Amino acid sequence: EIVLTQSPATLSLSPGERAILSCRASQSVGRYLVWYQQKPGQAPRLLIYDTSNRATGIPARFSGSGSGTDFTLTISSLEPEDFAVYYCQQRSSWPPEVTFGGGTKVEIK
Among 19, 83, 90, 106, binds another protein (CB under 8 A): 90
Q: Using CB under 8 A, which of the segments 14-22, 62-70, 72-80, 83-91 binds another protein?
A: 83-91
Among 28, 32, 52, 54, binds another protein (CB under 8 A): 32
Scan residues 39-68 and list those touching another protein (CB under 8 A). Answer: 42-46, 49-50, 53, 55-56
Q: Give whole-number Cα distances, 101 to 7, 29, 30, 48, 59, in Å.
A: 9, 13, 16, 14, 23
Among 13, 22, 61, 100, binds another protein (CB under 8 A): 100
Would residue 52 be called left, alpha or beta, if left means φ above 0 and alpha means ψ between -120 and 50 degrees? alpha
